[in-house]
Amino acid sequence: MSAEQKVVIITGASQGIGAALVRGYRDRNYRVIASSRSIKPSADPDILAVPGDIGKPETAERIVREGLQRFGRIDSLVNNAGVFLSKPFIEFTQEDYDYNMGVNVAGFFHITQRAAAEMLKQGSGHIVSITTSLVSQPMVGLPAALASLTKGGLNAVTQALAMEFSKNGIRVNAVSPGIIKTPMNPPETHAALSTLHPVGRMGEMRDIVDAVLYLESAGFVTGEILHVDGGQNAGRW
């Protein structure tokens, strides 16, 4: 491995935005440690696939350990794994709560803690989390309290860690999307979902990839919550 070839961990990497992020980082010549519950081995020698439940500490341990064994370093982490469930607040079950907290919060905590420890050793690194614009711009008719509870926590900890690591060469940012065209949103829903953005359309997966890669190269940006949401965060419409 050349000294210049960096390594990124991407969670939730088997489909949708996560798979697009893997392609985007490979296009920039990063080696990728890709993880999700169902990820399959890659024929690309510069992609290490590590399956497992990101909410479990043993999965985070394995991702970092195997990544270091294969590539020798960790430069960036993209916390992309996440779940979203919309229902009235009083209808959420204990299972809903446990699942959302497990993926969105524990899934951030365990892998970020271990990746940051490696970044601190080398004196550099970048951490990006994918949140949601519903945190700061909730909508009538789209009840999503668990998303606000869990992803709002990621927004807060992004800024806290940006300050904690500010003198250690580690930047910490987040991307806050609107509704993106992914396999989670079938085509028959696109017309209705488009109306939930001031610009009148949904976002594309490439919009999120571009935002993450911008933050990757923006050396003077840390503690930023970058809204990629077609204007949702700007006001009411």
Longest CA pairwise span in the chain (Å): 54
State the 10-residue block means of pLDDT for the chain, 237 residues long.
Answer: 79 96 98 97 97 97 98 98 95 98 98 98 98 92 94 97 98 96 90 93 96 98 97 89
Side-by-side strand order, sheet with 47-51: 47-51, 31-36, 7-11, 76-79, 125-130, 170-177, 225-228
- What domains are defined for the chain? 7-234 (3.40.50.720)
Give me the pLDDT at residue 3, please. 56
- Cα distance between residue 67 and residue 32, in whole Å: 9
Give me the pLDDT at residue 237, please. 78
Give me the pLDDT at residue 184, please. 83
Give me the pLDDT at residue 23, please. 98
What's the pTM?
0.95
